Structure 1
Amino acid sequence: MVHISSGVSALACAVVMGKRKGYGVDLMAPHNLTLTILGAALLWFGWFGFNGGSALTSGALATSAFVVTHIATAAAALSWMFVEWSHRGKPTALGVVSGAVAGLVAITPGSGFVGPMSSIFIGLVAGGLCYIAVNMKARLGYDDSLDVVGVHGVGGTWGALATGLFASKLINPAGSDGLFYGNAIQPAIQAASILTAWIYSFAVTWIILKVLDAVMGLRASEEDEAQGLDLSQHGETGYIL
């Protein structure tokens, strides 16, 4: 649920704080694609410890979590790439790494409960679904510069639902079977948990932001925002060109 909470909290932040100055008019593309790819690669590698390490032992379950994490991430990267290719006419490196992160997010809830074949499907759906969600933000009118809502919120929601479909005691005897393994109630349990996480995360984040806004304010001034927060808040810039 950590990804759902982060995605929904990001949505609350976007709603309360509003759009950046020039959003929808000025070009706001990622400023360093090389570092973006490097960061995604580090995430992919580090996620093995995140999911595999959750078993708290170096055994069969940790190995299974390691494998399905890798498979789902690769599947999601390919899925995002092909959906973007079909939609925009060209694949992009940014799309591939965004899909990879979506796959990492989606497989996390079920990494200790699903098998390799299920992880392929989870990843494929995550890549396409998160691509659609990210592209919906313009229509819905919120400004999410890091696509946390579309990747983490939507990807985490799908991953939690998918766990209720594909979980198997053959993978983890301590868990529960999902719908496709004979447990028809598990998807409802997952859905109730997801709904609770959405409501709680949005409501609590909204309250925290409103309190902070009343006490100290949330937005930089228009002058500081136009100058750039690196300079206005820190007195330095990342690049001297």
Structure 2
Amino acid sequence: DDSLDAFGVHGIGGTWGAVATGLFASTAVNPGGANGLFYGNPGQLTIQLAAVAVTWAIAIVGTLVILKVIGLFARLCASEEEQDTGLDITQHGEDAYTDFVVTAASFSIPESSAAKVSAGAVKTV
């Protein structure tokens, strides 16, 4: 669960930024840098792709190590009961969406708008 969309923003966005640097880098913009693939330097794209691979490896291994260490001292998953009750209540002691309560009444049709049907009109098969 990535409720803050950290993976989408940092993982995907960061990966694209690094790869795009290898494609679009130009010494016209940064004289101290290097040109990218589209400016005649395919080696820069290779460097950027290698950097992305190393970054992903470090991030994955580091995350797994951190999760294992935390798992030694605390649960990493909420119990089935906590999930059914709602994590806002079981973890934080409050209801996050007090205005949004689904009840059977939410799905009932008011008598005034219900179609009038005579008793003999409905046939049970």
TM (norm. structure 1) is 0.38
Q: 1:240 aligns with which of 98, 102, 105?
A: 98
Counterpart Cα distance in 1 of 2:91 and 2:2: 21
Q: Which runs of 5 or more structure 2 residues have no equivalent in the other structure?
A: 100-125
Letter in 2 for 1:236: E
Structure 1 counterpart SS, 2:42: coil
Identical-pair percentage: 55
Counterpart Cα distance in 1 of 2:95 and 2:28: 53
Q: Please list every run of at least 4 consecutive aligned residues from structure 1 whose deviation after the TM superposition is greater than 3 angstroms.
A: 143-152
Q: 1:229 aligns with which of 62, 65, 87?
A: 87
Counterpart Cα distance in 2 of 1:218 and 1:149: 19
Q: Aligned residue for 1:199?
A: 57
Q: Which has the higher helix share?
A: 1
1:1-241 correspondence runs (5 A): 144=2, 148-150=6-8, 152-241=10-99
TM (norm. structure 2) is 0.68
> CA offsets, 1:72-120, max 9 Å, x none?
xxxxxxxxxxxxxxxxxxxxxxxxxxxxxxxxxxxxxxxxxxxxxxxxx
Number of residue equivalences:
99
| Cα drift, residue 145 of structure 1 | 5.1
Structure 2 counterpart SS, 1:185: helix
Counterpart Cα distance in 1 of 2:93 and 2:8: 32
> CA offsets, 1:190-209, max 9 Å, x none?
01100100111100100110
Letter in 2 for 1:208: I
Letter in 2 for 1:193: A
Q: Which runs of 5 or more structure 1 residues have no equivalent in the other structure?
A: 1-142
